[in-house]
Amino acid sequence: MADSVSSTISVTFPFIGAILAIVAFKRFTVWWKDSKPLPYPPGPKPLPIVENMFDFPKGDPTICYYNWGKKYNSDILHASSLGFHVVVLNSLEDAEELLEKRASNYSDRLMTPVLELMGVGSNMAMMHHGPTWRKHRRIAQQHFRLDMMSAHEPIQARRVHIMLKALLDDPDNLFNHHKVLSLSIPLEFMYGYDIKSLDDSYIVNAQKMIELSSKYFNPDSTLINFFPILGKIPAWVPGASAQGVVAAVREIIHDLVTEPMEMVKDAVNNGTAVPSVLSDFIEAKQGTPEFEDEAKIVSELAFTIYGAASDTIISALAALFYILVTRPDIQKKGQEEIDRVVGMERLPQFGDRALLPYTDALYRELLRFYPPTPMAVPHRVKEDDTYKGYFIPKGTIVSANVWAMTRDENLYPDPHVFKPERFINENGELTNDARVLTYGFGRRICIGKYSASATLWMTIVSVLACFNFSKAKDADGKDIEISDEFKFFAVITHKTPFKCAITPRSEVVRRLVEEVVAAEKLKPQGNVA
């Protein structure tokens, strides 16, 4: 035993020493290369070798970077760690200038060696800005541009109605019901796949992949990012925990990308396929020379859409229910508008949206106050740049602090107050401020923003039309207070679960929901192409 310990120490200490020496040398070369007449943007003072490694926030970074802006009197900030430069943008003006007007230089993504090994590069949202990304984007736009949204509406409406029925039957499981809604829409649209519960194998595997990989999205999460050769060390070697995670995530992603395509292909060939993006593609392209190459792109795109759409919708809906429970005044205003325009004898429809400005304002304010991605997915600079007298070196990670921008008093007076009325003018009409910052910037803006907007609005208007939300009661009949806590996980913010009381507004509502759901089960599903 002693010999084993001695042997381990004799190997470990020189190895650590070698790593520190290489890190020091790397930092020197980076410093030498990056020495420029112009300074970096303001930020915390770096330490020798490790620089700002201990300054970066470990949890939700938004408030930390917001406070940095106050401390250093700057909306553009800089920090670095072991060769990685990070620039944080706290103002919309700077984000628009760099990420949109200079998009040709600021549209790349950071793909660290560990994420590359995992296979995360197959996700369009994480791809480098180049030919492969453009092919994915072009196909995505065919299905998610504004004039194609009518193809989404039947699925969105049906899935919302199914959730309404679930709330009637089992109101205590609100969080399960809204997650099933959020996950089911992209799965049905892309694959024609009908999930019944969160125990579905696809959902379980996707969640496992997210949980395993989330900690490795930070560049300093593993030495593999600094010394890619370490990625070749077998997972069984002591201390090689990241290598085991890499192998597990890579296998899950491979299965999530390839298995649905094979499933839909079999259904198409058997004549049992449900209309979807994948089935329509297979029917149109199977047997052609370009099928294999395009099938890979469509499979990867379907996986991307599922991941991006489901998490953001889950986050936004949890925040919505929190607002409805804790702000009965907002709930009442929304219901009054719906009752006045829609009435009580039918459920809301997509065609009602233009006539319901308050519910649309509620949608906008929900994503302003509780942005699902409070830090936009980081961009990466392709070439050296200068801005406002600062030097931004090639390879810099640029993060837009959406949360800070939505708290800008110049853009949103009383920014820390949840107030849908800010988006309604004196004539009772919606203002022109329709931009939702959480969807991102420039060429990397969320491809599914129109679909997400429609899903969220239909859910908002439907639950307001059908239910009253209030605080749950304890055994003594007293209100159970709700924590205002939100947790930051990977790049998404989630409201912590809470109990509430959900009651149908009338027996007419119960009848309407049951009739609509029963009728929709009898309808053949429409084409999504």
Q: What is the structure's pLDDT at 265?
A: 93
DSSP-derived letter for residue 101 is I
Segment (H or E) for 318:
helix 291-326
pLDDT beneath 70, residues of the chain? 1-36, 522-529
Q: What is the structure's pLDDT at 35?
A: 53
- Give dist(CA 435, CA 466) in Å, integer: 28
Handedness of CA 126, 130, 133, 134 (dihedral sign): positive
Phi, psi angle pair for 37, to nearest 5° = -60, -35
Cα separation values, 471 from 57, 165, 275, 296, 477, Å: 34, 21, 41, 48, 11
Contact 114, 224 (CB under 8 A): yes
Q: What is the structure's pLDDT at 224?
A: 85
Q: Copy the structure tokens of residue 213.
A: 């990989």
Q: Name the residue among 95, 87, 102 with its Cα closest to residue 42.
A: 87
Is 500 labeled as ligand-binding? no
- Give dist(CA 371, CA 279) in Å, integer: 33
DSSP-derived letter for residue 467 is E
Owner of token pair 């989630």: 494
Q: What is the structure's pLDDT at 527?
A: 43
Segment (H or E) for 257:
helix 241-270
Q: Copy the structure tokens of residue 242.
A: 């990241």
Owner of token pair 């541009």: 145
pTM of the predicted structure, to 2 decimals = 0.89
Contacts of 365 (CB under 8 A, 6+ apart): 418, 419, 420, 422, 423
Q: Report, in this order, helix, strand and coil percent for the chain, each rounded to 5.
A: 60, 10, 30
E strands along 84-196, which residues?
A: 84-89
Owner of token pair 């192409």: 529
- Give dist(CA 6, CA 24) in Å, integer: 27
Q: What is the structure's pLDDT at 148?
A: 92
Q: What is the structure's pLDDT at 235?
A: 78
Owner of token pair 């020189």: 14
Residue 413's CB is within 10 A of a number of other CB atoms, namely: 10
Contact 124, 302 (CB under 8 A): no
- Give dist(CA 150, CA 179) in Å, integer: 23
Query: Do the bridges between strand 84-89 and strand 76-81 make them parallel or antiparallel, or are there none, so unpaired?
Result: antiparallel
- Give dist(CA 358, CA 352) in Å, integer: 12
- Give dist(CA 449, CA 430) in Å, integer: 19
E strands along 47-178, which residues?
A: 76-81, 84-89
For residue 47, what are the β-bridge partners?
51
